Amino acid sequence: MVGRVVGLIVVLVSVFEALALAAGSRSILRVIESGVAGDAAVDLNATNFDSVLKETPASFAIVEFFAHWCPACRNYKPHFEKVARVFNGPAAAHPGMVLMARVDCALKINSKLCDNFSVTHYPMLLWGPPSKFGSGWKPKQDKSDLILIEDGRTADRLLGWINKQLGSSYGLDDEKFENDHLMSNASDPEQITKAIYDIEEATYTAFDIITEHKMIKPETRGSMITFLQLLVAHHPSRRCRKGSAEILVNFDDIYPSTSLVNLDSQPLDKEMLGNLRICGKDVPIGYWMFCRGSRNDTRGFSCGLWVLLHSLSVRVEDAESQFAFKATCEFIHNFFICEECRQHFYEMCSSVSNPFTKSRDFALWLWEAHNKVNERLMKEEASLDTTDPKFPKIVWPPKQLCSSCSSIHSQKNSATKRIEWNKDEVFKFLSDYYGKKLVSLYKDKDSFQGNKTGAHAAEEAPVATSAISVPVGAALAIAVTCCAFGALAWLWRSQQKNRKPRRIYN
């Protein structure tokens, strides 16, 4: 009971923290679409230029400065687009490498921006790390990280120039997943930092599936509210915490309660739902980085969802551990659309007889559950020859990631070997891997760019559950809305008493 009360307090404070942030400007996530349907290059202007370049996961960027009235620019656009499709968009063969963007200098809104980059001819292409575009560019500038591209007049020549810079051999005909630029997450612990983008996409995809298949029903409505509360408090991405809070506050309008309407017969408020995206409006699709498989049908969403669950498990406090366990189990049981996987997870949840009192125990249970799933899939994939050759299922973590987590012992009178786990070391690894390292990308970018305050890094850090500061201006709103939440909670509990609850735990 105490855990649930603490969890509710954390969620309420986090909701108002997220709502207070919503009052400010909404940062633009990794934009991969422009104003013209079908364009792969990103249209930038003075209002979104800095935010897009700061938030992109790409290692490098090419910005084309052009004028829409310029005949040469119109003729060059198809060439630029050919290269952009290699790196940008859901069908990109090499996502996350180069952000291809353009700025129309003929628009008055961009006059100062183009002056800041000394644009004297059209089209003009600049190359460099995205973070370095914030300071502008001048010809013959000493020690500039931005390079003027002078040999990119055709798609072949531009891509050849990029390949020379990167030491790569990308081609205009490369197709998605048919390349060897894949992360080897089994050997490099730092690659988990890129997974923050995959967690955002996995969160978006999960809720898109739930909406598309109309999976929120009277009997599953409570489970959705509980999981949203968990996301508001502990999702590693501030954007997703904020989006979860907005959906939670508007939940009764989007999904009316059973006392007001029959959910199966009444259409949902799709306009409101479209305006409230779980992680913002610009989450790209098919942009898997850490979770990318070597084939189109491997990894991706399932990997991203596992990383999300592990990241939640290492962020909860002891008093919230049972709440987080039940929220996770009910979410998978009610909303994960793969029947066999859902049933297996349900069985593992049902086998837990004693409530969790320590967050460590919940994190280790989820780790053991993941390994059980991997062991099951290893056998199935081996028999059906469906294994991803570059990312086969393994007992995790491997020695390359955590040498102190396990030791291998030979079985007597048997050729098989037994893994003995040091759970203290495993928990340390989980906490560091899915906790500190997972959000360190933001901190690294802050120090690298040198133009963000420490407050921005704090915004992306996990929400603390022991001491949360709330803006003074939001105090009155918190008091009023807490009363509303109390009324909603009372109403929901009253409804629950009128029907037999569906338990999935022993």
Q: Please, is 473 exposed, middle or buried when counting C-beta atoms within 10 Å of its C-beta (0-12, 13-18, 19+)?
A: exposed
Token pair of 278, please? 């779980």
Q: Nearest Cα to 158, choosing from 237, 250, 255, 78? A: 78
- Per-residue exposure over 35-62, b if at least 16 CB sit within 10 Å of its own CB, e if not: eeeebbbbbbebebbbbbbbbbbbebbb
* CB of 292 closer than 8 Å to CB of 385: no
Query: Phi and psi at residue 99, in whole multiples of 5°?
Result: -90, 120
Neighbours of 427 (CB within 10 A): 19
CA 132 to chain centroid, in Å, comes to: 24
List, in sequence order, every beta strand (DSSP E) within 78-190: 98-104, 124-128, 147-149
Helices (H), 123-190: 155-166
Token pair of 227, please? 């999981």
Token pair of 182, please? 């894949």
Q: What residues are labeled active site?
A: 70, 73
Peptide bond into 397 cis (omega under 30): yes
List CB contacts of 490: < 8 A, sequence separation 6 or more. none
Sign of CA dihedral 45, 51, 54, 58: negative
